Structure 1
Amino acid sequence: MQLGSDRAYDILRTQHQPLDAIFAPKSIAVIGASERENSVGRTVLWNLISHPFGGTVFPVNPKPHSVLGIKAYPNIAAVPEPVDLAIIATPALTVPSVIGECVDAGVKGAIVLSAGFKEIGTVGTELEQQVLQQVRRGKMRLIGPNCLGVMNPHTGLNATFANSMSMALPGKVGFISQSGALCTAILDWSFHENVGFSAFISIGSMLDVGWGDLIDYLGDDPHTESIVIYMESIGNARSFLSAAREVALTKPIIVIKAGRTSAAAKAAASHTGALTGSDAVFDAAFRRSGVLRVKSISDLFDMAEVLAKQPRPKGPRLTIITNAGGPGVLATDALITDGGELAELSKETYQALNELLPPQWSHNNPIDLLGDADPIRYAKALEIIAKDPNSDGLLAILTPQAMTDPTQIAHQLKPFAQIGKPVLASWMGDADVEAGAEILNQASIPTFPFPDTAANVFYYMWRYSYNLRALYETPVLADNGDTCKRTIAETIIQQVRQAGRTLLTEVESKQVLAAYGIPTVATQIATNVEEAVRLAKQIGYPVVLKVFSQTITHKTDVDGVHLSLHNADTVREAYNAIASSVTTKVGANSFAGVTVQPMIDLRNSYELILGSSIDAQFGPVLLFGTGGQLVEVFQDKALGLPPLNTTLARRMMEQTRIYKALQGVRGRKAVNLEALEQLLVRFSQLVVEQRLIKEIDINPLLVKAEKITQNSLVALDARIVLHELDITEAQLPKPAIRPYPTQYVSSWTTRNGMQVTIRPIRPEDEPLMIKLHHTLSEESVFFRYFHLIKLSQRIAHERLTRLCFIDYDREMALVVDYQNPKTEEHELLAIGRLSKLHGTNEAEFAMLVSDRYQCQGLGTELLKRLLQVGRDEHLTLISAEILAENSAMRRVCEKLGFRISPTTEASVVRAEIIT
């Protein structure tokens, strides 16, 4: 019993895309159309009729009988035909009622060009809410307000008030901008540079249609090969990241984000808060979603071109060949400054170059071919270094010299356009090199006038490749199944809130960490000096004393930490000193005693920090880096968005400088990086599940370079701050990326008595999915995919990664997990998938059951649970296409209330149910 129709998904997606009403309308009403010179209403109407798009235009204005010679109508209800798109250019105060009329008339899409909304303050914000209320009454989608409009160059649609002759050239780049003024500047620039667009979109205030909607739309658009974005604010962060993570796997998404130098918000109570700033969080979010962030507008379009022409590098190592030393040095400086590397050439490469080049060549990378380099020398040198396995990319630099022929050299380099590694060129100069540069560009070897620009582009290519790699890599399953006791943590947090506190004590904080399997140093409380001495003796000297308080945030601020206490006398002195200092600085009421802990040997160890704080746009944000008392001074940190898996945890670690030391340096052994990965995963689970936590620091987290022992990975100090006591569940910040949906995990018994677990799929399930596909018969494959697919194709890593590493916000896949009681090995018996259709509130389901476990009720149970997921997600319709001969699946659907109907193909039926 199998079900599935990947082909049907594409068909349904096309049929259901509501944004087609905006980008491919058949009829348009211009509300506010006018004869007045230079008015928005006149300009947009003129643009529409000056560039035929294959549809009809209806001016709407209650006063004139016609506008620009076209019959006008007093309101949208008077238009004699159904309207796909309404373009609104009326004063802001009138827009809510105009949108209401459009909804009543059945208009499917709207573009609000009018300004005067939230950008002017409270009054404008209230107007926006009135507009949104009207939009939500129907199924209308709206772009704006306060936008320039949209263009679809491939159909001729110019629904903007840009200068009347400024229709974008058709091309393969989808451009989205939050700034209308920048749109006009980019448009003007694009004519000079001959840059074409598949779509040209001014997104405005994103009242309804946001980044995620447009990324989804352009991701499905066959004319779009890359997406470039000018962004000022993120809007719905979860929607953006969800769409970007899916689309970036097939189409590059390149972003320039304004506001890079904005002052970071400071959080006095938290090391983590002080170290995170919103721009750094944007960087982390872009990395997590496979998006490439660039620094300049020219970079946007350079990268769109380069990624379309050349393969992504597999590493950061670049080989440079040049006919002049200076440009090679400039390229090297730019590369190393960004974070790239020069390739270390192999012995075989050096030997071959020695045989080819004059004795005076540089004997190093960059490879200086010398000023008399002819076309043959360039070509043979490039052929040699192209074979070097230590090189991830090639840059050829040419300066016009007396014995240089830029055009012939370009002809010789053309065959190297596609060698499996990126090849870039810098033909320096003007008229002398113009013909050669054009030859290379036509051969898909991107050419730049300056070598440092080319080096920067290569580094961007590597960063993009690096970001995507995390979406492809199969992580190791975290060992947090039995170590997590979330109910213990929840109980502690609730008890603190019931006591009227938002700050956990050190002891309570460590108990929460321990509940999630994060090792902590043994910590006991002493409320008087003699108890401190007794506990110190019991623990064993040397010990550490720290202030115990329900109100003090940072212990060092009140001299509340005393280390290396070797006897009873030093313990008494430390206790009294802490009590005196706290009383003097903050008052006796803040002193509740001390904690007594063993003094951990710091030799061969590293102090790290692990923390989380709340970002206003992205919710909880994780921090990892160098810890200790000078944490703010060193500023060695990496940010990430929860939840993590082991691959993402390793990516966070790799972003820091201390990572190199953790791998082993100067005779020190490497720390157990796998254990550290697991700890980061458990910490991210804590942050995601315990949403009442506002801030959390583990500083220091001690990591020792030795065999795993009790103290080789241990939290020496911890502090947790909760959200305000009056916060409601609905007000708690949500993670920007939807976490693993544990609510759908439960056990079940098959008809033959097998105990299984039905749960959402995980990225770590890829090996189990491979085993499942090995159990399928040709009939099962045919019923699932409507045609036979080779096993090698079905289990390809890139394919399975996308099926296992899903975004739970837009897709749910439930697997039947069976653990063999004899071997204790896991296997997947079946999988059911529910995929939302882009831009709609509908979804398609698919099913796959191992042949050996069919007729055990697995398909029925999975589909029943997927229907519940659909209800929980407030879907309106769930459907699938089924081969007519797949009688088993048809019976299951009918049993669960699906309506079966014929399609245009006799061999296929459609099953659908309204949820």
Structure 2
Amino acid sequence: MQAQTVTNDPAHDFLGTRQPLDAIFAPKSVAVIGASEKKGSVGRTLLWNLISNPFGGTVYPVNPKRNSILGIKAYASLNAIPDPVDLAIIATPAPSVSQVIKDCTYKGVKGAIIISAGFKEIGEQGIALEQEIKAEAQAHNLRIVGPNCLGVMNPHYGLNATFGSAMALPGNVGFISQSGALCTSILDWSFRENVGFSAFVSIGSMLDVNWGDLIDYLGDDPNTHSIVIYMESIGDARSFLSAAREVALTKPIIVIKSGRTSAAAQAAASHTGALAGSDDVLDAAFRRCGVLRVDTIDDLFNLAEILAKQPRPKGNRLTILTNAGGPGVLATDALIRRGGKLAELAPETIQALNDCLPTHWSHGNPIDILGDADPQRYESAIAQVAKDPNSDGLLVILTPQAMTNPTKIAESLSNFSQLQGKPVLASWMGGNSVEQGEKLLNDANIFTLPYPDTAAQVFNLMWRYSYNLQGIYETPILREGRKPDYQQVETIFSQVYRSQRTLLTEYESKQLLNAYHIPTVETRLATSIEEAVNQANAIGYPVVLKLSSETITHKTDVGGVQLNLKNATEVEVAYQQIQNSVSPEHFQGVTVQPMLKLDGYELILGSSLDPQFGPVLLFGTGGSLVEVFQDRALALPPLNTTLARRMMEQTRIYQALQGVRGRTAVDLEALEQLLVQFSQLVVEQPQIKEIDINPLLAQTPEAGGSIALDARVVLHDQVTSDSKPAIRPYPTQYITQWQLKDKTPVTIRPIRPEDEPLIRSFHGTLSEESVYLRYAHLISQAHRITHTRLTRICFIDYDRELALVADHEDASGNHYILGVGRLSQIKGSNQAEFGMLISDHYQGQGLGTKFLQQLINIAKQEELEGIIAYILPENRPMQKICQRLGFTLRKDTEEEMMVAELTLK
């Protein structure tokens, strides 16, 4: 009872369906609206570029005033063209573009490139025009690149749909730029450096086709090995993150983002008509989806090339081998300055180097093999350090000296071009004298750079990229927590809104944290002196009194905190002092708390809204000097335990949390879980605008773990309470309880990254027949349970697909997955494919029918238009289930499969 589908198995591409952007990148016919004979005009250049680089299709100039242009028959309008048109390139004044788009939809055109400027970058009038165009295009499935762009090139296809000066060289780099002017500069640079492209795209102001669409397209393109991006604004953040996260595991995505400084960000916003978000938040977003950010155009293309040639390093430890001390020191400085480390040579490596090097070699890393090193000495030393278990990468430096033979040494190094899990870089210094050696190394896929400090910087970028990817696909540990008290949260928020407030009091804030089982210091509310004394007596002295106010958050600033009160008399005096420190309308009593011994570290944990990415988490050094130290890390929710630990690792305080100078480490596992629960609170309660726990006291397990000492929460106005996370959180609404026919209880729930061990065990319960019916060919169990494959199955983007598992818990508390059902959206459409796989022991128990019913309900809630599946003809049980639930069946003779389809709209 297995349903075949393409998308469920990342290693299996069953269908050869056309991509939705093929009309733009691989058209069979192109119309140029605004084609012209006028020399130097955009319309003439576009037409000339198309006919000068034959792509195998037909070009139709459109100009109502001419019968022919450049010797080609011209048409008065798009509708006058007698044949179908795949792509329309529009180079007419902005006010006329709306009518041209209507002509395109009437004609059935599927792709358009709007070269014209004069849209949202000019203000309200341009924005209104864009919206009119977008509405018309979306209603008729017309995809648009631009407006205000240079156009699109597909060098492998022979398509130059730009007004650039020349066609890019064919290659393996997909280049996307938001700046047309930068495109022309990069194009000129690529000819000098002999860099080729699989696609060359000027994306413009992203009216329709955005970063996510293009990343998806290039991710599927076999000619594209890496994607490089020049970005001014991110646009649809959720689309970008979703596409980048899916593609980054198989193809590097490298971004240079302008606007790091506030002045540059303002200039970029003015240029693109978009608002700039926080640059630090953008860095956090890139880390979350496995994108590598660089600062220079050199780094952009250096990394694209080296990641295509060499493996990613597993860590940040670099071995440097050189024939001169100075360049080794330069490389070391550059390495350490950006977070890399010198690999500590293993004892056996040192002994082996002692045996093959002169007595006066450096006896450490950097390994200085001295200025008279010949090819044999280089080769012997490289052979030893290549085996060193403590190293994650190798940089070989050569400076031309009297006895140096750069070409012969390059030949020796070429023998070590592919080390397992270790990139090899080279810096051949010396200009023309080392040119032949550099060529040999490049031909052997060893990346060469002229300066050793640049090489060290490239290694740092490589390991950071690898580190980001490891964080995404490292299986987190599942620690089942208690369910939040949603009723208590609703009561708190209702009470605040009834009081016409958006600011929670400290007492309410801590109640909110308690509802999500985040530990807080005991806090009692008192509205009179007598009540404050009674509460203090109940808690036990010494105590702390704090102002309870519906309007004041920073209590210390107004004298609203009284510490270390040792008896009732001191409580009475402190209460009166706090009451007198503010006017009556700001005083709603005090909170009474125990005076804790601060035997730990003061941290801050918070969340605020970014205009592009929604809720953003902050973690770092807290306390009253939080703004002074500015030791913090940002991350996008939701978090799991792995992401929580990665967030902590980015701060300087993390070293202290692990234990320093004889102090015991704090309870890091509990702190991880606290961050996970806090992120759950943030994504599940969109009414929250800002929330801070400061200080969050991190202590050892013996001292009680982490505890929130103070908290501040601000809500949205009730009218504006929607703060959508940039990454869709776990869809708890799709969790249901059910029983098999034999009364075995199961929880049918969305899959999660922590399920990888359970899915691995599940594949051990499948027969070859079940596997064949599911995938239309046999896949060995060893291949099915590789970590790389299982991450693609368990670490899903709930915006793109949703997999359900049937989770059974036995009497001993052990969990087993009995089946998996998956719904995957088809790119470029509002339809999805489904597939399912049931353990052999539990087939015939109604689970397949239940899965499909649930997937249909989910598809309806997600507002999909239809569901489709591809089923082997011999898989009759699956076909019968589909028919019972309303699917129609047809035979696809070309693919020799049965196609099951269900229309939902």
State the TM-score, normalized to the length of structure 2: 0.97
Q: Which amino acid aligns with 1:628?
A: G
Displacement of 1:8: 10
Displacement of 1:658: 0.9
Distance 1:906 1:592 in 2: 73
Displacement of 1:750: 1.8
Distance 2:586 2:6 in 1: 64
Structure 1 counterpart of 2:802, from 805, 812, 819: 812
Structure 2 counterpart of 1:61, from 60, 63, 76: 63
The corresponding residue for 2:588 is 592
RMSD: 1.6
Structure 1 residue ranges without an equivalent (≥5): 266-275
Moved more, 60-69 or 714-723: 60-69
The corresponding residue for 2:711 is 718
Structure 2 counterpart of 1:643, from 633, 638, 642: 638
Distance 1:13 1:179 in 2: 35
Displacement of 1:19: 0.3
Q: Which amino acid aligns with 1:63?
A: K
Structure 2 counterpart of 1:630, from 621, 625, 634: 625
Q: Which amino acid aligns with 1:597?
A: Q
Displacement of 1:417: 0.4
CA contact (8 A) 2:6 2:15 kept: no
Displacement of 1:206: 0.5
Distance 1:75 1:553 in 2: 65
CA contact (8 A) 1:542 1:567 kept: yes
Distance 1:754 1:611 in 2: 43
The corresponding residue for 1:705 is 700
Displacement of 1:11: 6.1
The corresponding residue for 2:206 is 206
Distance 1:91 1:680 in 2: 53
Matches within 5 A, 1:219-230: 219-230=219-230
CA contact (8 A) 1:17 1:840 kept: no
Residue 301 of structure 2 corresponds to residue 301 of structure 1:
yes
Distance 1:23 1:153 in 2: 10
The corresponding residue for 2:613 is 618
Report the count of equivalent residues. 891
Distance 1:264 1:536 in 2: 55
Distance 2:24 2:281 in 1: 32
Q: 1:130 to 1:907 in 2, by over 3 A?
A: closer
Structure 2 counterpart of 1:877, from 866, 869, 872: 866
Structure 1 counterpart of 2:659, from 641, 656, 664: 664
The corresponding residue for 2:318 is 318
Structure 2 counterpart of 1:857, from 809, 831, 846: 846
The corresponding residue for 1:337 is 337
Secondary structure in 2 aligned to 1:195?
A: coil
Secondary structure in 2 aligned to 1:775?
A: coil
Secondary structure in 2 aligned to 1:642?
A: coil
Structure 1 counterpart of 2:159, from 147, 157, 160: 157
Residue 728 of structure 2 corresponds to residue 738 of structure 1:
yes
Distance 1:486 1:826 in 2: 26
Distance 2:352 2:44 in 1: 68
Moved more, 97-106 or 612-621: 97-106
CA contact (8 A) 1:118 1:124 kept: yes
CA contact (8 A) 1:323 1:370 kept: yes
Distance 1:799 1:11 in 2: 14
CA contact (8 A) 1:885 1:907 kept: no
The corresponding residue for 1:269 is none
Structure 1 counterpart of 2:792, from 789, 794, 802: 802
Displacement of 1:594: 1.2
Q: 1:485 to 1:475 in 2, by over 3 A?
A: same
Moved more, 133-142 or 216-225: 133-142
Distance 1:264 1:733 in 2: 27
Q: Which amino acid aligns with 1:291?
A: V
Matches within 5 A, 1:756-771: 756-771=746-761
Structure 1 counterpart of 2:890, from 884, 889, 901: 901
Structure 2 counterpart of 1:602, from 575, 598, 621: 598
Residue 81 of structure 2 corresponds to residue 88 of structure 1:
no
Which 4+ stretches in 1 moved above 3 angstroms? 5-14
Secondary structure in 1 aligned to 2:416?
A: helix
Structure 1 counterpart of 2:115, from 102, 113, 116: 113
Q: 1:52 to 1:417 in 2, by over 3 A?
A: same
CA contact (8 A) 2:670 2:705 kept: no
Distance 2:322 2:45 in 1: 52
Distance 2:859 2:532 in 1: 58
Q: Deviations over 1:493-551 (max 9, x none)?
A: 12211221100000111111111110011101122233222322221111111111000
Secondary structure in 1 aligned to 2:2?
A: coil
Displacement of 1:579: 2.2
Q: Which amino acid aligns with 1:179?
A: S
Q: Deviations over 1:146-183 (max 9, x none)?
A: 000000000110000112xx100000000000000000
Distance 2:486 2:609 in 1: 21
Secondary structure in 2 aligned to 1:726?
A: helix
Displacement of 1:724: 2.0
Q: Deviations over 1:470-500 (max 9, x none)?
A: 22211111322x2422232122112211221
CA contact (8 A) 1:668 1:705 kept: no
The corresponding residue for 1:840 is 829
Q: 1:8 to 1:743 in 2, by over 3 A?
A: closer
The corresponding residue for 1:268 is none
Q: 1:47 to 1:77 in 2, by over 3 A?
A: same
Q: Deviations over 1:66-93 (max 9, x none)?
A: 1111111111111110100000000000
The corresponding residue for 1:273 is none
Distance 1:693 1:76 in 2: 51
Displacement of 1:842: 2.0
The corresponding residue for 2:813 is 824
CA contact (8 A) 1:58 1:79 kept: yes
Displacement of 1:569: 3.3
State the TM-score, normalized to the length of structure 1: 0.96
Q: Which amino acid aligns with 2:57?
A: G
The corresponding residue for 2:856 is 867
Secondary structure in 1 aligned to 2:228?
A: strand
Matches within 5 A, 1:422-441: 422-441=423-442
Q: Deviations over 1:356-404 (max 9, x none)?
A: 2222222221111111111111111111111111111000011111111
Percent identity over paired residues = 67
Secondary structure in 2 aligned to 1:301?
A: helix
CA contact (8 A) 1:479 1:678 kept: no
CA contact (8 A) 2:7 2:824 kept: no
The corresponding residue for 2:270 is none
Q: Which amino acid aligns with 2:761?
A: K
The corresponding residue for 2:737 is 747
Distance 2:487 2:458 in 1: 50
Displacement of 1:755: 2.0
Matches within 5 A, 1:359-438: 359-420=359-420, 421-438=422-439
Distance 2:277 2:41 in 1: 42
The corresponding residue for 2:271 is none
Distance 2:719 2:388 in 1: 63
Residue 556 of structure 2 corresponds to residue 556 of structure 1:
yes
Moved more, 96-105 or 520-529: 520-529
Displacement of 1:214: 0.3
Residue 756 of structure 2 corresponds to residue 778 of structure 1:
no
Moved more, 755-764 or 482-491: 482-491
Distance 2:520 2:358 in 1: 63
CA contact (8 A) 1:149 1:203 kept: yes
The corresponding residue for 1:533 is 533
Q: Deviations over 1:315-356 (max 9, x none)?
A: 000010111111111101111111111111111112222222
Displacement of 1:16: 4.1
Distance 2:670 2:215 in 1: 37
Secondary structure in 2 aligned to 1:371?
A: coil
Distance 1:490 1:313 in 2: 48
CA contact (8 A) 1:33 1:60 kept: yes
Secondary structure in 2 aligned to 1:200?
A: strand
